[in-house]
Structure 1
């Protein structure tokens, strides 16, 4: 019976060591996976923040361009009106029907 107990003890030590090893490997994989997901999430958050800043900059630029465009349209209207007046004046000077 003492031989069976020592063999049983040896087997228990081997199985226990194997279980401990598997537990450590499992925890390492779990921790590595968690860290990888956390790194990926942080990377995506940083990328989203950068894109948000770029979008804000683009919106501000488009708004400024629209304002500038509106001002230029006003200037064009004024220049066209002035051009009509000048043509009418020239026509009157050269004896046109205006």
Structure 2
């Protein structure tokens, strides 16, 4: 082989290697950026879910408090109802 043809082949191989290294770097950078964007999106989603969870916990606590109050009110109404029945039974001469 002659030196000029050997140098021409080396230039082609060198160009291909340079091209492939640039493509590899671009793919690597793109993948890193994609992973970074995905991580940021997941972090934002986790933050939203955490806020939603806190809202739900607050609402459940309020509902439990309201439920306790309603249970107490129902118990009082049942007692009053029982007393009224007994009074009506006494008024109409029932066995009370």
TM bucket (normalised to shorter chain) is 0.7 to 0.9
Paired positions, count: 96
Aligned positions of 1:58-77 closer than 5 A: 58-77=56-75
TM-score by length of 1: 0.86
Q: Which one of 29, 32, 36 corresponds to residue 31 of structure 1? A: 29
- 1:34 Cα offset (Å): 0.9
Instruction: Indicate the RMSD between aligned Cα atoms, in angstroms.
Output: 1.6
CA distance in 2, matches of 1:84, 1:30: 79
Alignment correspondent of 2:10: 12
TM-score by length of 2: 0.88
Unaligned segments of structure 2, at least 5 residues: none
Alignment correspondent of 2:80: 82
Unaligned segments of structure 1, at least 5 residues: none
Deviates more, 1:38-47 or 1:6-15: 6-15
- 1:47 Cα offset (Å): 1.3
